[in-house]
């Protein structure tokens, strides 16, 4: 079995490049949002909005001129993507036939099978209301019983979730992030209104997992399969794909476990190893050395332990930690500069006063604070955040305190 060995820097650049973050933004505007969603495979959704929502920050760092309205258009008007999963992700709509097989399998899971049997009458009532009244959200139902679930606070909400998870319903649109549902046949484009065989669906999703991670360990396959996947089964998937030449095992400098890359992506990996960015990765505007990006807290390049693995950067999103246990701050984001995570900032947008606060700012290397190129790139990144959230003022005291070059930067925030 052919095996490729690469440096840690190559691994970083390849993963960043696959995800549209290096050498810079390569998509633009409304069409760019749709292109980005296809290229990066999936983007995780999250409702928390301290600065902006995680999925919005993920697209902001990849798409020049991104607006949340663009995403709504792609999802709810053009129907080029949809949301799904126990862990909620946006997927390209063209993949719906494969996901339908996963949705159908959800119905046979013991917990959901028992739920459907226990709530048969309420399921019928909710579906009847949807047929009679059109798209409805959880707020449109009174709910008979309060439930203790993070999926919903009342039984009708949990029924809506079940019908969505098992494929009868899809998200019609959102109101302040809350889903409004309709029957799938009223939403899905006709071209994708069929279900792939489960075996074909799982094979597709294993390949998608590898494309999504860029460099993927077999243990990550189960997340896309939406089921438990034993180590032996994952290893068998990888072995079989390697034997037919669809994937190539990759040894990354300093890491024991093999990763896998799609064979079709091998030229991109080889170009990155040669120290260059591939032509398909050409940036449309300034590159990642000219403007920093504030990575979304759930960004696949830095979440789930990848910040340490790829960048030797200790990062945990601390929103779920008690305040006394936080090392950095409630909404601290990694800052990408070139192909490195050079700093982090704890950010909060105060909507009433229209002030974007930098509550804390930390450099990985103290010398970066005197680097005029980094300071200018940082100023441009902050300017983009200010414009994106609609702030009228930037409280950047912590930045100025540790980054003297930023104060003198011509690109700095003008009060």
**CA dist list (Å): 88 to 46, 161, 182:** 8, 12, 18
Q: What is the pLDDT of residue 407?
A: 86
Range scoring the smallest mean pLDDT among 63-77, 147-161, 252-266, 298-312: 147-161
Q: What's the pLDDT tens digit per position in 3-34?
A: 999 999 999 999 999 999 999 999 999 999 99
Q: In this predicted structure, which of 109-113, 149-153, 303-307, 335-339 has the lowest mean pLDDT?
A: 149-153
Burial track 161-185 (b if 16+ CB lie within 10 A, e otherwise): bbbbbbbbbbbbbbeeeebbbbbbe
Q: What would the two tokens of residue 197 be? A: 């065989």
Average pLDDT, the chain: 94
Residue 297, judged by CB atoms within 10 A of its CB (0-12, 13-18, 19+), counts as buried
Is 370 strand, coil or helix?
helix
Q: Longest C-alpha distance within the chain, in Å?
A: 68
Residue 139 to residue 149: CA distance in whole angstroms:
16
Whether 274 has a pLDDT exceeding 90, the answer reads: no
Give 146's strand partners.
154
Quote the percentage of the chain above a pLDDT of 90: 89
| pLDDT tens digits along 46-103 | 999 999 999 999 999 999 999 999 999 999 999 999 999 999 999 999 999 999 999 9
> Which pLDDT score, from 0 to 100, does residue 275 have?
82
pLDDT of 216 > 80? The answer is yes
Give the CA dihedral 62, 385, 401, 412, nearest 10 degrees: 100
Average pLDDT on 246-268 reads: 95
Residue-level pLDDT at 414: 46
Is the pLDDT confidence value at 410 over 80?
no
Instruction: Quickly state the pLDDT bin for 280 (edges 50, 70, 90).
Output: confident
pLDDT of residue 148: 56
Containing 63, the helix (H) or strand (E) segment is: strand 63-64
Please answer whether residues 55 and 72 qualify as being in contact, where contact means their C-beta atoms are separated by less than 8 angstroms: no
- Answering whether pTM is above 0.75, one says yes
Q: Is 28 helix (H, G, I), strand (E, B) or coil?
A: strand
């Amino acid at each position: 079995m052919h095996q490729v060995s690469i440096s840690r820097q190559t691994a970083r650049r390849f993963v960043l490049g696959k995800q549209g973050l290096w050498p810079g933004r390569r998509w633009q505007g409304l069409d760019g949002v749709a292109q980005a969603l296809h290229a990066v495979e999936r983007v995780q959704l999250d409702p928390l909005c301290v600065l902006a929502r995680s999925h919005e920050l993920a697209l902001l760092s990849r798409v020049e001129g991104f607006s949340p309205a663009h995403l709504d258009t792609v999802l709810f008007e053009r129907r080029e993507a949809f949301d799904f999963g126990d862990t909620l992700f946006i997927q390209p709509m063209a993949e719906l036939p494969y996901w339908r097989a996963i949705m159908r399998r959800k119905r046979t899971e013991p917990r959901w099978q028992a739920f459907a049997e226990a709530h048969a009458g309420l399921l019928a009532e909710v579906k009847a209301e949807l047929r009679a009244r059109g798209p409805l959200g959880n707020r449109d139902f009174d709910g008979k019983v309060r439930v203790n679930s993070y999926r919903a606070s009342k039984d009708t909400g949990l029924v809506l979730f079940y019908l969505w998870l098992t494929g009868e319903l899809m998200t019609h649109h959102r109101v302040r992030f809350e889903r409004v549902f309709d029957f799938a046949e009223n939403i899905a484009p006709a071209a994708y209104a069929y279900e792939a065989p489960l075996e074909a669906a799982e094979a597709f999703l294993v390949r998608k997992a590898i494309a999504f991670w860029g460099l993927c360990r077999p243990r990550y396959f189960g997340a896309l399969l939406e089921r438990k996947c034993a180590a032996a089964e994952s290893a068998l998937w990888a072995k079989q794909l390697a034997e037919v030449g669809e994937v190539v095992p990759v040894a990354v400098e300093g890491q024991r476990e093999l990763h896998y890359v799609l064979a079709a992506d091998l030229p991109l990996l080889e170009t990155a190893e040669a120290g260059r960015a591939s032509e398909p990765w050409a940036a449309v505007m300034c590159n990642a050395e000219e403007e920093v990006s504030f990575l979304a807290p759930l960004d696949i390049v830095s979440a789930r332990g990848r910040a340490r693995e790829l960048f030797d950067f200790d990062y945990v999103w601390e929103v779920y930690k008690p305040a006394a246990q936080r090392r950095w701050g409630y909404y601290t984001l990694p800052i990408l500069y070139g192909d490195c995570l050079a700093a982090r900032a704890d950010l909060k947008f105060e909507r009433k006063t229209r002030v974007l606060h930098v509550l804390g700012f930390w450099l990985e290397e103290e010398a970066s604070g005197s680097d005029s190129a980094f300071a200018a790139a940082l100023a441009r990144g902050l300017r983009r955040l200010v414009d994106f959230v609609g702030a009228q003022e930037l409280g950047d005291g912590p930045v100025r305190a540790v980054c003297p070059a930023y104060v003198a930067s011509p690109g700095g925030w003008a009060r």
